[in-house]
A and B are shown apart, each in its own frame.
Chain A
Amino acid sequence: MKNFSFMRLSLWFYLAIFFAYLLGPLVIMSVTAFNSPGFPRMTPWECLTFEWFGALFSDERILNGIWNSILVGFGTVILSVSMGLAGALMLTQIWPKLRATYYTVIIAPILIPGVVLGISTLVFWDRINRMLGLGADSFLSNGLFLTIIGQSTFIASYCMLVLVARLQRYDIALTEAALDLGATHAQAFRKVLLPFMKPAIASAAVLAFLASFENYNTTTFTFGEYPTLTIELAQKVRYGITPAISALAFIIVVLTVFAALANEANLRRKELVAKARKEATVEELSSGRIRMPGFLSSNWAAVALVVVACATVVVVGTATVYSPQQCIADVQEQKRLETEERINELRRQRDLRRQQQQEAEQGNAAEPNQSQPTGNNSGFGNVFAPSALSGEEEEASEAEEAPSGNNSGFGNVFDPGSLNSGQDN
């Protein structure tokens, strides 16, 4: 019995670790979006702030990147889902002996590195562009076009895999029945096959959009005049990041949670409706007086959806009236006091040392002066320090010499004061 409970305990422990590993980074990133320091960090907690969302929405480049990502995403969805559907249909119709070969060929783009796809897309369409004698500003060298084409080369294969799975459960007799009842091939496709494929097409479209949205390594070669969000983020990170990016991550996480809950709630509702229909009598069905289950009844996903929606409304409402200025001012005041104290401390030490020196000189026992090593021995140098370029906090940390209590794995790399203190020496 004891053994058993130990097993259970370790199972829960394992699950906790697993989910911490899975979701921990997201949680930390989300929290940093609400903390006021200029570099995304969770501790020390300074002030609750929504300013990073404001900063995000006033960042032209990020907004433009999101817009481009959405454009590319929609283009990719349309192109890859239609190519994937065509490929899947072909796979079910092709001569059986060729099927394995065809499958390999059509799956190959998934196995090819995205970088290679990006370069080859660029080179290929550039060749075609030149062959047609078009200039550098032609449609074929447009970044949007190239990115959509480049991403679709492999995203279409993903779509095909999703669609083939559904298509394998399709009874070809249904198409034959439609033909037999007078439908043309196009009508049979539109009225029978397409409705059957609709759920798979929806999944394939979502998959394609997400794959396109997060793609970096293919896009990096093809984006041209249309940098997508991933490109913009990568370029931004080069100059140090701010919690505005955490804010973006948080928004994406919330949207994902919304979509997942809405989907789950919808599925549950369909199940419940099907059950109600099955139990309904003929009279109820024909009179339309069938008692449908309420939206929230026995549907945890719908309840969760409503709760999350309410929470979002509350947070947004709070954000519009909440002002962290007082808190930030307090924190700054506190910092200033701390700094002053430290300066005083240092002065005292210096005076003390000078006294000692004088005493030593007086006592003719001159010893070499030992200077304290300050420093920064990280490989990154000070690249990531947000103030590396601004240097506006210079005055505040003027006399900062002693390392402030930062024991993070990065050493002092991210300490905004470290650069200045280095200069001061």
Chain B
Amino acid sequence: MSAGVGVDLENLWIRFGDFVAVRDANVNINGGDFFSFLGPSGCGKTTILRAVSGFLEPSDGRVLIGGNNMKGIGPNKRPTALIFQNLALFPLMKIWENITFSMEIRGASAKERRKRADELLDMIALPGQGDKLPSELSGGQRQRVAIARALCAEPDVLLLDEPLSALDLKLRQHMRTELREIQQRVGITFIYITHDQGEALTMSDNIAVMKAGVIDQIADGKTIYNDPSTAFAASFVGENNVFRGKVKRVMGNEALIETNRSGDLVARISSANQGRMKEGEDAMMFIRPEAFTLAPEGASGDHFVTAKVNHEEFEGNAFNIFMEGEGGKELKVSIPNLGQSFEDHTGQNITLEYETNNAVCVPAGELAAE
């Protein structure tokens, strides 16, 4: 997909006084992509969005939309439309007036506006609701009106600032699919801000993982999940078990880690860090809960972990085993429920096995807060 207009951030710095909100961001967003910025709250992702939409001037670096430098161009002149976190629908205007506000600015007649509003209302599955006021709609309906209003401006780039965070879980999951469908239909670039990794993974073509103003990794969802380049990305996206230790030996794409508690374990070096991990350095190793299988008792080796079981739970699709882990954090293991018999292990030591390919090691770094 290269039909749409791309957005590039080049060496972007944004400072508020002494506080650095965004540190040297370099992002290349392809036209027509669904691109997400994923990070915990306060990591600077909204700041980036405001810089793209023109409400903030970068302290340094450039924002390019479709290859054009946007410096000094105000938000009303940029080919972007922003969907605000609180939606910011005009409370005193009817729905159809809200949707076609951009046309009113361009001087379109009421008749044209009404016609376009009806088309867009059909698209967002709210036919005939044009005469209501925003306060008369439900949360999900308002959400869709905000999208229609932004699309009515025919932007090249649609910016979404955590638009689903105010909705309840069911609606949120429904809106994910809907947003993705709308994006594929209109074919313009979407830049999506979220702290919810589920939203980012399900909708995005590419994801940038951010931490405290720094972009840790940019890749598609699968890569970020399976091949994280930093400890933060590994621990923020999805559930993960961490093993701390030192690199004992590097063997091509794999490394033997001398872990603090579980002996020497072998893991794949994540592709971004290949050739950069030195023996003796601090390292972290991540294994997903679902990557473990139960091993026969007494088995040992560089891909076996033995620990005491604290407690267990049955989740329906899986059995979860929580074992003593590092630094008071429990080691979580998920065994898929395929109808097999499952005995209680509480208080016993059990041994787990994993495939080397499913363990990934990165240089030691900051972990995401729980």
Contacts and interface: CB of A to CB of B under 8 A. Distances in A.
Interface of A: 171, 173-174, 176-184, 187, 191-192, 195-196, 277-278, 282-283, 285-286
9 contacts: A174-B90, A176-B88, A178-B90, A181-B101, A181-B102, A181-B149, A181-B153, A285-B128, A285-B131
Interface in B142-162: 149-150, 153
A196 B153 CA distance: 23
Contacts of B128: 282-283, 285-286
Minimum-distance CB pairs A-B, first 9? A173-B88, A177-B88, A181-B102, A286-B128, A282-B128, A179-B75, A180-B82, A182-B105, A179-B76
Contact of A182 (B53, B106, B133): B106
Interface string B23-35: 0000000000000
A171 B150 CA distance: 18
A136 to B, nearest CB: 50
A177 B130 CA distance: 19
Interface string B116-152: 0000000000001111110010000000000001100
Contacts of A192: 90
Overall SS of chain B's interface:
loop
B314 interface: no
Contacts of A182: 76, 102, 105-106, 153
B74 interface: yes
B95 to A, nearest CB: 10
A174 B131 contact: no
Contacts of B81: 180-181
Contacts of A282: 128-129
A196 to B, nearest CB: 6
A183 B88 contact: no
A38 B161 CA distance: 75
Interface of B: 53-55, 74-76, 80-82, 84, 86, 88-92, 101-102, 104-106, 128-133, 136, 149-150, 153
Nearest to A192: B90
A183 B105 contact: yes
Contacts, number: 70
B153 A177 contact: no
Overall SS of chain A's interface:
helix
A181 B149 CA distance: 8
A178 B97 CA distance: 12
Contacts of B136: 277-278
A176 B84 contact: yes
Contacts of A195: 92
Nearest to A171: B88
Contacts of B75: 176, 179-180
B151 to A, nearest CB: 11
Contact of A181 (B86, B105, B132, B133): B105
Contacts of A176: 55, 75, 82, 84, 88
In this complex, the member of B74, B101, B149 whose beta carbon has the largest number of chain A beta carbons within 10 angstroms is B101
A93 to B, nearest CB: 15
Contact of A179 (B74, B86, B130, B131): B74
A412 to B, nearest CB: 64
Contacts of A286: 128, 130-131
Contacts of B106: 182
In this complex, the member of A177, A184, A187 whose beta carbon has the largest number of chain B beta carbons within 10 angstroms is A177
Nearest to B77: A182
B228 to A, nearest CB: 34
A276 to B, nearest CB: 12
A319 B179 CA distance: 72
Contacts of A187: 105
A299 to B, nearest CB: 21
A177 B131 contact: no
Nearest to B102: A181
B105 A173 contact: no
A277 B81 CA distance: 31
Contacts of B102: 181-182
A173 B101 contact: no
A183 B90 CA distance: 13
B113 to A, nearest CB: 13
Contacts of A173: 84, 86, 88
A183 B75 CA distance: 9
A283 B55 CA distance: 40
A283 B149 CA distance: 23
A182 to B, nearest CB: 5
B140 to A, nearest CB: 16
A195 B102 CA distance: 17
Contacts of A285: 128-129, 131-132
B76 A184 contact: yes
Contacts of B74: 179
B76 A183 contact: yes
Contact of A177 (B80, B84, B104, B132): B84
A125 to B, nearest CB: 40
A271 to B, nearest CB: 13
B99 to A, nearest CB: 10
A285 B127 CA distance: 12
A181 B74 CA distance: 11
Contacts of A191: 101, 104
Contacts of A177: 82, 84, 88-90
Nearest to A290: B131
Contacts of A283: 128
A196 B82 contact: no
A176 B74 CA distance: 11
A54 to B, nearest CB: 47
